Amino acid sequence: MSNLWLLILEFMKTGLFAVGGGLATIPFLNEMGVKYGWFTTDTLSTMIAVSESTPGPIGINMATYVGYAVAGPAGAVLATLSIVAPSIVVICIIANYFQKFKNAGIVQMIFAGLKPAVVAFIGAACLNLFISTLLYTKKGISGGIAEFFNWKCIILLAVLLALKQKFPKVHPIAFIVAAAAAGVVFSF
């Protein structure tokens, strides 16, 4: 099967099952990277950073990024359309019937059941991002536990959190730019 068809199928699956927003797509993307070798965990961290710092929904931005990396401009367009197509179809179907059934007990129970799943997806994505960014999971610990931690990233995180605490009114883009500059200067 060609990469274009794989992109379409994988992003349609992601668009259908990644309930809860863009961060819920991260476990699906991680699975794609492992399954097809399209990108590494480190590349996924970069994709998240780029997708978060560009305008638009993170899930769609990441689909575009992966599609372009795997199959060029055609891949970018097809991955983007594939991730949004299931949502559009489902929303049209739901909108047609929601008014009739919005107060039904089963509908309320479904929404109540989805909330913990969304929290679990986002929590898993955050944990995965935390581990891949702040820890060296691929290295063996030969010189001690200190080698296990990515100290540059931990220090940068601590500095940015302290600055955000001290200057809460500074726009988040300023912190994103500062983190990107630190990454370039200190070779993260």
For residue 127, what are its two tokens?
């944990």
* CB of 75 closer than 8 Å to CB of 7: yes
pLDDT at 74: 93
pLDDT at 7: 92
For residue 40, what are its two tokens?
């590494």
CA-closest candidate to residue 154, choices 173, 179, 172 = 179
pLDDT at 24: 83
pLDDT at 158: 92
* CB of 41 closer than 8 Å to CB of 150: no
pLDDT at 78: 95
Which residues, other chains included, contact 18 with Cβ-Cβ below 8 Å and sequence gap of 6+?
24, 25, 28, 59, 121
CA separation (Å) from 86 to 3, 9, 30, 93, 177? 20, 11, 20, 11, 34
Secondary element (H or E) of residue 2: none
pLDDT over 60 (residue 140): no
The confidence band for 138, taking pLDDT boundaries of 50, 70 and 90, is low
pLDDT at 162: 94
User: Amino acid identity of 15?
Assistant: G
pLDDT over 90 (residue 145): no
Residues 55-91 pLDDT 10s? 888 888 889 989 998 899 999 999 999 999 998 998 8
pLDDT over 80 (residue 124): yes
| Dist. CA 36–CA 32, nearest whole Å | 6
* CB of 46 closer than 8 Å to CB of 75: no
Mean pLDDT (whole number) for 157-173: 91
Residue recorded with tokens 């049209």: 92
**Verdict on whether the full-model pTM lies above 0.85:** no
pLDDT > 90: what percent of the chain?
Answer: 22
